[in-house]
Structure 1
Amino acid sequence: METLLLSPITLALAAVFVLGCVIVLIWVFRGSGKPAVYLSVVDSLLTPAEKLFYEQLDLVIDGRLQILCKVRLADLIEVESRQPEERNRVFRRIASKHIDFILAEPGTLAPMLAIELDDSSHERADRRERDEYLEELFQTVRFPLLRIKASATYNRRALVDALEQALRRRFQPY
């Protein structure tokens, strides 16, 4: 009986069992290290500059229009083509871009005006290229795009005038 307990087969089975337990433990605890990617919810949807402008815009608009933030271009502009490859090419170009603010009719949320807040990042070459593309895109779809230079303060009268002028363009024939 003593020889059965210490036989090579018994020792091999015990070793396999212990090894199996070690593998299971490693597998169970392998995810407990530091993750490669961290996810968290942002403190605000808007940057400090965007939030400051939003607050001024909200005062000026005074509930007459709805302010929508960071609207994806693909949700604002429809892309249609008889050529699926061309449609997909254009859609991919606008799908990952957003416009800072959209003013929309309160009841229907029909878009009335796009607003892009230009901060210092718009001086970079890649941003200038993006801005030129936006200008061309909005001219193509005949939708007004108002560019506002980001600032620490905003003159309300100047903001009202710029908004009124841009909204008038919305309803002018081209």
Structure 2
Amino acid sequence: MNSVVLMILAAAVLVSLVFVVVLIQAKLRSLQPTGAGALYELRPALLTPAERSFAGALDASLPEGVIWFAKVRLADIFKPIRGVSRSAAAIAQNRIQQKHVDFLLVRSADMKPLAGIELDDSSHQEHRRQDRDAFVDRLFQASGLPLLRIPAAATYSPAELKTRLLIIISAEPN
């Protein structure tokens, strides 16, 4: 009799465990996205209000033949130099993979990068952000591509911006 009770008890425990596993799997499946975009939603705008304000001044300031792109990944502008080991190239690529510049000025005729622009808001005072900014500054300087840092503001002077842009673009070798 003892063995029959133990077998019934073991079967009940086994059925209970199977039931719990099935419930857990069902719960996990319900948490999984059901479509490609189930975990994402559309942002209200590509640019922040500060970036949109600057973009308006930038549009009014650009010399003919120059256009801008926003939020361009550094990995789309720069690449690791040739001749380094694969691991060094991978490390270099990873450092720029998820960073971007706020605006990139390019020559419209051939899409050649002419200069980067960073809007510096209060977040640029944070220690981690300062380290990132120093890295980006060195990257642009080492490549010979000018980087213009503009303090974020409520409004921008198109005339002043145009003067600054002409200086850095005309200094860029063709």
Q: Taking structure 2 as the reference length, what is the TM-score of the superposition?
A: 0.76
CA RMSD of aligned residues (A): 2.7
Unaligned runs of 5+ in 1: 1-19
Aligned CA distance change for structure 1 residues 153 and 84 (closer, same or farther; 3 Å): same
Percentage of matched positions with identical amino acids = 34
The answer as to whether partners of 2:63 and 2:166 remain within 8 angstroms in 1 is: no
Q: Give the whole-Å Cα distance in 1 for the aligned partners of 2:147 and 2:171.
A: 9
Supply the AA of the counterpart residue of 2:110: T
Larger Rg: 1
Consecutive unaligned residues in structure 2, runs of 5 or more = 1-18
Within the candidate set 146, 149, 156, 1:147 is matched to 149
Aligned mates of 2:101, 2:91 — CA distance in 1: 19
- In 1, Cα distance between equivalents of 2:75 and 2:156: 30
Give the distance between the partners of 1:33 and 1:90, measured in 2 at CA. 36
Flag the 1:76–1:33 CA change in 2: closer, same or farther, 3 A. closer
Kindly state the Cα deviation for residue 110 of structure 1 after the two structures are TM-superposed: 1.2
- How far apart, in 2, do the equivalents of 1:32 and 1:68 lie? 40
State the Cα distance separating 1:169 from its structure 2 match. Answer: 2.7
For the residue of structure 1 that corresponds to 2:53, the secondary structure is: helix
Partners in 1 of 2:146 and 2:63 — Cα distance? 20
Greater relative contact order, per chain length (Cα 8 Å cut-off, separation 6+): 2
1:105 to 98, 104, 107: 107
Q: Is 1:167 the equivalent of 2:169?
A: yes
Partner amino acid for 1:69?
A
With structure 1 as the length reference, what TM-score do the two structures score?
A: 0.76
How many residues end up aligned between the 2 structures?
150
